[in-house]
Structure 1
Amino acid sequence: TGWREDRNGAGFNSPCIGWCTGKIKTTVVYPATEKHLQKYLRQELSLIQETGEDYKKITLPFIESQSFSIQWVYNILEKKAEADRIIYENPDPAHGFVLIPDLKWNQKQVDDLYLIAICHCRGIKSLRDLTAEHLPLLKNISREGKEAIVKRFGIGGAQLRVYLHYQPSYYHLHVHFTALGYDAPGCTVERAHLLSDVIDHLERDSQYYQKCTLTFALRADEPLLKKFQEAGRV
């Protein structure tokens, strides 16, 4: 069991229980709210091409206007919650992180291995905030995360998919580690950005993610989509 939150607050303080029997994997969310129901209903998607200016004028003001609580993230970093689930930690406040299993993975097999590296540094909301000054952090996550996984689970770096989401499900920088053969939720091309590519882009241009166009999909009911529609960008 554990706690989960998405960026719309649908899962905030909602216990999630997952188990796997044979070839059927089930996740139960209780209590289920209207936001949960909307999240899991099939909906039309719109592909957004967000320029650097779009981020500054549309996305960032939207993020700042919302009350997206990430206290549960801070509780993990401060060992107030899930301390027994931490696989590895680099405690450095600027360049360190904790590595924990994602709640979608039951840790009973490595075929669907899924871990999350959560950085200790606060204030990095997403890919858009990254500059060359964050390269030591990103390289630590890549190198030390892979070392911890091969030591604990016997899965080498060449068998891992290591990536960031944009848009992320919560606005505190975190990196996903999944088994390469696992078709993990959110590993599609319009959302996942390989950590190795992110590092390469920042080594070439410190301001790359402040200037580039990022593409992502939004569901029909997401408030951010309405903001892009109002701005005539969809």
Structure 2
Amino acid sequence: EIKATVVYPATEKHLQKYLRQEVHLVRETWEDYKNITLPFIQSQSFSIQWVYNILEKKAEADRIIHENPDPCNGFVLVPDFKWNQNQLEDLYLIALIQRRDVKSLRDLRAEHLPLLRNVLQEGKEAIAKRFGVPGSQLRIYLHYQPSYYHLHVHFTALGYDAPGSSAERAHLLEDVIDNLLLDAEYYQKRALTFALRADEPLLKKFQEAGRV
């Protein structure tokens, strides 16, 4: 059996994404985030209009598995495009939060705990009801760095070696909740490690700053 992903039309960014590249680990302190990563994010024109289109039901409304419309603590659960929904072995869904002021793990504080608990509990319940997969067989996590800067949570089958589920990128949602219970500003204090490909502009910024 062969599974293929076809991207058309493929931009130069797509081509670079799928080329084999050297990878470097970056250890980002909170100061690094404020001085390097955040200015880089703000300087880029990362379009997330497609996320807003889903939240506003202008696109993919028929693919929504679960919706909590609360503007502060709600989210929408949809199948990831990498999953064709034909088999459960590689189950993959994404929870997109309703609020638009949380870019990534770095923005999370104790005030977001009700939101994160909703995603965890309601997401597991919706998947169990729709697909018959219990929460104990799900890997539920956030990426850092994320591929787009609107907070979202990944739900994948535990037995599926999903892209980005490695230790240097995936942060289990239950661990994130526990960390915020320990310290309301946990993710504004600790260093975070992530991998960057040799051709990624953010890596160049860290190299220029002498941090890699």
TM over 0.5: yes
1:129 aligned to which of 107, 111, 119: 107
Spell out, residue by residue over 1:148-194, the C-alpha distance to the aligned partner (whole angstroms, 9 max, x if none): 00000000000000000000000000000000000000000000000
In 1, the alpha carbon distance for the partners of 2:152 and 2:112 equals: 13
> Partner of 1:24: helix, strand, or coil?
coil
Q: State the TM-score, normalized to the length of structure 1.
A: 0.90
2:65 aligned to which of 87, 91, 107: 87
In 2, the alpha carbon distance for the partners of 1:77 and 1:161 equals: 23
Q: Which runs of 4+ in 1 moved over 3 A?
A: none
1:114 equivalent to 2:87? Answer no
Residue 46 of structure 2: aligned partner: 68
Could you tell me how far 1:33 is from its partner in structure 2?
1.8
In 1, the alpha carbon distance for the partners of 2:205 and 2:128 equals: 43
> Partner of 2:77: helix, strand, or coil?
strand
Residue 209 of structure 1: aligned partner: 187
1:101 equivalent to 2:82? Answer no
Could you tell me how far 1:32 is from its partner in structure 2?
1.2
1:163 equivalent to 2:141? Answer yes
Q: Which fold has the larger relative contact order, with Cα–Cα distance below 8 Å and residues 6 or more apart in sequence? A: 2
In 1, the alpha carbon distance for the partners of 2:92 and 2:12 equals: 28
Residue 219 of structure 1: aligned partner: 197
Aligned length: 212
1:233 equivalent to 2:211? Answer yes
Whose strand fraction is larger, Structure 1's or Structure 2's?
1
Q: State the TM-score, normalized to the length of structure 2.
A: 0.99
| Worse overlay, 186-195 or 32-41 | 32-41
In 2, the alpha carbon distance for the partners of 1:170 and 1:221 equals: 17
Residue 184 of structure 1: aligned partner: 162
Residue 31 of structure 1: aligned partner: 9
Residue 59 of structure 1: aligned partner: 37
**Unaligned 5+ runs, structure 2:** none
**What fraction of aligned residue pairs are identical, expressed as a percent?**
79
**Unaligned 5+ runs, structure 1:** 1-22
1:151 aligned to which of 129, 135, 139: 129
> Partner of 2:5: helix, strand, or coil?
strand
